[in-house]
Structure 1
């Protein structure tokens, strides 16, 4: 096990992300610390960092290094983005920081920054054809990713700081200023012809603007999950939030639920850029990613220092959670093997497609994760552990359905209060949860001895019965009795009698 500290020096903020890496290459975030950078003057007025700004940088890095040492961090990865990249004295300052603090700062090029963000998103969200957008202080990076590769990319000289400063968008906003800001933004964006000439499924972003809009959007919609990663908004949501925000002065914006104090003065300028990218591209969907530059740096570190056998992001995430919680992996995989085959064999009855494969996999492999807290109520704990684990590759609906199915794996009368999630799950989804949950009950019963006794089985469906014939070298009376405890649930749902016998 190793602990890594990721330090990011941005135009208006310093970030420290403390992570823990297991021996299998799975990592989790232990802590995040943010500190105001106040380096905007150099970027907006000139291209040289002042002595005062250098002192601010050194003071923050000194504190971050101390936190890393106290937390047992062995490796520090420090990068600087546009602040140092644009400063004429950046390399002299980087050398000074190395001499004073023994911290090597890598000054990222635009291409490197885009690639790290791509690495982060592509390892945490499934997508085929999207724009990756990162709105920063004085620039906006846009890349077109299709079929897992960056097809086009560019960096535009507009960001939330210079747009805000140039057009007085920090406090009270005049109609004239907002119109002038719109004109400049659109004019700059139109220089990128490939955005307007092609179609895209979504915008995916990890920047401060989209994350802030997500925090505004969820309470307004009374969204039941406080999960930022993979949260989806729509173009009309962004437009409505923009119209709402421009009518507020700075003091009023600071009181809006979801906006952090440091975001209140730049949220209008950043949202204006996002709104115009949406208009130009005609994209309808905006997806937030909690994996940004620090995530990309971590994935780069993992890929270069560990032999990662799991290339699928969902498998990587699930296996990491299983190892972290010390779950019985052989039992989990046996339950998944049985549940997966049962799901396939019962398709003529439940008529569910392959779109439920990831849900079934997650629920089956993590059904016992709640035992890490308490055995007797572990099904309840499994529900909120899955919901709280930010499993890579799952949408919010998939994550919620996986958690609910895992919670139903025991043969008891337990029912989740799923009505509170009706903005995510509809009645059909609840029926699907019951279908797959009953399959998981049977699969759990057939490995209740934890021995992996069932080697294979066949399923025969007739007019009034479903017959499961088990293949094993050992007696299966115990497993069959345990699995048959789900017979009444099966009959109620599938409208057929369940019969399980050893072949």
Structure 2
């Protein structure tokens, strides 16, 4: 498939980041490189509100280094955007002009509203959440947005972030009790001017940016969390209360030893945390959900897909994207397996037992069960498990991602139990049995298209005492499928206690 590489540069108040995306075909994409340089622009603004010439020159050197990386990766279009530090600087437009002269890159200075919109687009395409608040705590500003029915409703940009607040209200990163109180008072006063922030209690708060990701990593380390992702991690009010009590009590040098917190963020984490915690309590949010996608992703979507930057089906699009990155898998085959699995699910009347969401998990596993062949055909089920457990499948919780990996890679109950064990703390009690039942059902659906030629036009399943009776109509001889079904029927019986009985439908010609 035709591919194109796009570079997105985000000139933030704390750091400058480059993300290189590869767009494949009409819809698929992936990140192939990422770089970050700490610049702390918000902490270096002079008394007259301007950015010093030496800082602008340093920024130009970073951008030229990023241009080199883009050239190495064969990047076509490069889009550079700047946020609060340059937006609020007295000489911001002069700095942007200097950067263009030194690097050849046109720098788009985003307004607070544009910054919030790009962050929203990146987030909403990666999380299946209809209603909530969105907060993006940067180095020099904090954007708060309200979204309803997956549509942005209100937004405000506050002129304080982790870096400039640390500069003005924290002594070298150490925040006294009085300093913490002044940060809370500043945030509360600003939020009071926007009454809508307090008018929707109980909604989730979705968080973007380095402060949120760092707090997530700290919490995960404390809990020895098994799943290797921050995206879609959930911080409760108790979690945030504990962090807000603990981290400000540590001097900067001690904070550098906190697992999950990088040295370059140790001096600004407390102001960012207090901003987050104060707004969280002010809006009476239900929980704080971490988004691994934000402004840079939103800029990419609007650059690469200008016609439809917001996706309608988060999970479906994510599955389709992942499948497109593994072209060794036959899409007609897995789509047919998904339909067959659906028919078996209906015949066993499983929605009443396991709920509607279990059907979505089965469909997702059916589409992705074979991606492990990209690594190696032999024992591809193990590679499939690893890929699914370590890939970001948007639209799924961490627990659901593990369940999909278990269902898609199912071979036997004993193997599934072994794969399940490391994730036991984040799973529910009945999840092992659910994974085995849906996994063995998927195994049966795969057998029904073993030749990958879709010979079975339709199947109907029903339980008859100790039998699962499957009637089929065929387009051509399904001999391979019938033999494969006999082979997996034993494992199905172990899990379900049902014998598989195949017969052609009476109306079949």
2:318 is aligned to 317
| d(CA) in 2 for partners of 1:437, 1:419 | 16
Residue 34, structure 1, aligned to residue 36, structure 2: yes
Alpha carbons 2:42, 2:140 under 8 Å: kept:
no
1:117 is aligned to 119
1:78 is aligned to 80
Distance 1:497 1:456, change over 3 A: same
| d(CA) in 2 for partners of 1:271, 1:150 | 25
Residue 430, structure 1, aligned to residue 432, structure 2: yes
Alpha carbons 2:48, 2:90 under 8 Å: kept:
no
Q: CA deviation at 1:398?
A: 1.2
| d(CA) in 1 for partners of 2:437, 2:394 | 24
2:63 is aligned to 61
2:272 to 270, 281, 300: 270
2:392 to 390, 393, 412: 390
User: Greater shift after overlay, 194-203 or 380-389?
Assistant: 194-203
Distance 1:117 1:449, change over 3 A: same
Q: CA deviation at 1:285?
A: 1.1
Q: CA deviation at 1:219?
A: 1.4
Q: CA deviation at 1:169?
A: 5.2
1:181 is aligned to 183
Q: CA deviation at 1:496?
A: 2.8
Residue 149, structure 1, aligned to residue 161, structure 2: no
| d(CA) in 2 for partners of 1:121, 1:342 | 35
| d(CA) in 2 for partners of 1:493, 1:91 | 67
Q: Secondary structure at the match of 1:199?
A: coil
2:253 is aligned to 251
Unaligned 5+ segments in structure 1 are: none
Q: Secondary structure at the match of 2:133?
A: strand
Superposed, 1:203-222 pairs within 5 Å as: 203-222=205-224
Unaligned 5+ segments in structure 2 are: none
1:284 is aligned to 286
User: Greater shift after overlay, 479-488 or 134-143?
Assistant: 479-488
Q: CA deviation at 1:382?
A: 0.2
| d(CA) in 2 for partners of 1:412, 1:484 | 19
TM-score when normalising by structure 1: 0.95
Q: Secondary structure at the match of 2:75?
A: coil
Q: CA deviation at 1:412?
A: 9.2
Superposed, 1:72-471 pairs within 5 Å as: 72-168=74-170, 170-304=172-306, 311-326=312-327, 327-347=329-349, 351-408=353-410, 410=411, 414-415=415-416, 416-471=418-473
Q: CA deviation at 1:71?
A: 1.4
Q: Secondary structure at the match of 2:337?
A: helix
Q: CA deviation at 1:429?
A: 1.2
Q: Secondary structure at the match of 1:228?
A: coil
Q: CA deviation at 1:76?
A: 0.4
Q: CA deviation at 1:250?
A: 0.6
Number of matched pairs = 501
Q: Secondary structure at the match of 1:230?
A: coil
| d(CA) in 1 for partners of 2:318, 2:350 | 31
Alpha carbons 1:230, 1:395 under 8 Å: kept:
yes
| d(CA) in 1 for partners of 2:212, 2:295 | 15
Q: CA deviation at 1:200?
A: 4.1
| d(CA) in 1 for partners of 2:472, 2:172 | 69
| d(CA) in 2 for partners of 1:371, 1:25 | 22
Alpha carbons 1:234, 1:285 under 8 Å: kept:
yes
Q: Secondary structure at the match of 1:45?
A: coil
Distance 1:472 1:274, change over 3 A: same
| d(CA) in 2 for partners of 1:411, 1:474 | 31
| d(CA) in 2 for partners of 1:411, 1:479 | 20
Q: Secondary structure at the match of 1:487?
A: helix
Alpha carbons 2:12, 2:83 under 8 Å: kept:
yes
Distance 1:173 1:89, change over 3 A: closer
